[in-house]
Amino acid sequence: MSMSKTITVSLDEETEREFREKAGIRYGRRKGYLGEAISDAMKVWMKKAEGDDADMRALRLLKKGFYLGKILYKSRDELHER
């Protein structure tokens, strides 16, 4: 089991109230339920952020372009003569 750390955060009252309510329903209002709920929420957020980072890297590569050789065509039709 890993060591626990303490983080202090400030939330608006509505977010805090709603989070406590939903976490209590899902995890039961037992000792440590808020920490468990926040830990799970952070893991979900990090997994989503990881995917977002991969998307951003892919978009940067697309914008940069790819070198596909020396032959240049003015239009796609030149490749597919009909």
Q: What is the pLDDT of residue 82?
A: 57
Q: Is the pTM of this model over 0.75?
A: no
pLDDT band at residue 1 using 50, 70 and 90 as cut-offs = low
Q: What is the pLDDT of residues 10-58, one digit of tens each?
A: 999 999 999 999 999 999 999 999 999 999 999 999 888 888 888 888 8
Q: Are 72 and 65 in contact (CB under 8 A)?
A: no
